[in-house]
Amino acid sequence: MKQLLPTQAQAYLQAHPEALFLDVRMELEYLYVGHPPGAIHVAWYEYPEMRIDPERFVAQVRREADGDLNKPLVLLCRSGQRTVAAAQVLEAAGFTEVINVLHGFEGDPDENFHRGKLNGWRHDGLPWEQM
């Protein structure tokens, strides 16, 4: 898997309009914390079960990719951690171009455990929207 900083991921998405931009956070995070415009929500796990189902996840991504295992996938989560496991599962399923957005949407926590102050999609001033 490739690793890109948020600004690099945004540039990649602009240069590769065929790429799928997948937000793998829970629906509550996607809707209420916010998400980049155009990001497709495909949860790695969901509340309240919090159970990872790799087969369901891969099947949903395959549907979004119209079965094209060569379609570039750019994965975003809260901090860039969930996407590592999700990317590994997608690569094992045969996807050839999987990119993890480092620091995710909210970024790493600071010394007070607050996110969005050090790095991440929102911190970098990239476009986002919320419900």
Domains of the chain: 2-101 (3.40.250.10)
Model-level pTM? 0.96
Q: In what order do the strands lie in the sheet with 73-76?
A: 2-4, 98-101, 73-76, 20-23, 40-41
Among 86, 127, 129, 78, CA closest to 103: 78
Query: What tokens appear for 27 in the block?
Result: 């629906």
Q: How far is CA 114 from the centre of its chain?
A: 20
Pairing of strands 2-4, 40-41: unpaired
pLDDT truncated to tens, each residue of the chain (131 aa)? 999 999 999 999 999 999 999 999 999 999 999 999 999 999 999 999 999 999 999 999 999 999 999 999 999 999 999 999 999 999 999 999 999 999 999 999 999 999 999 999 999 999 999 98
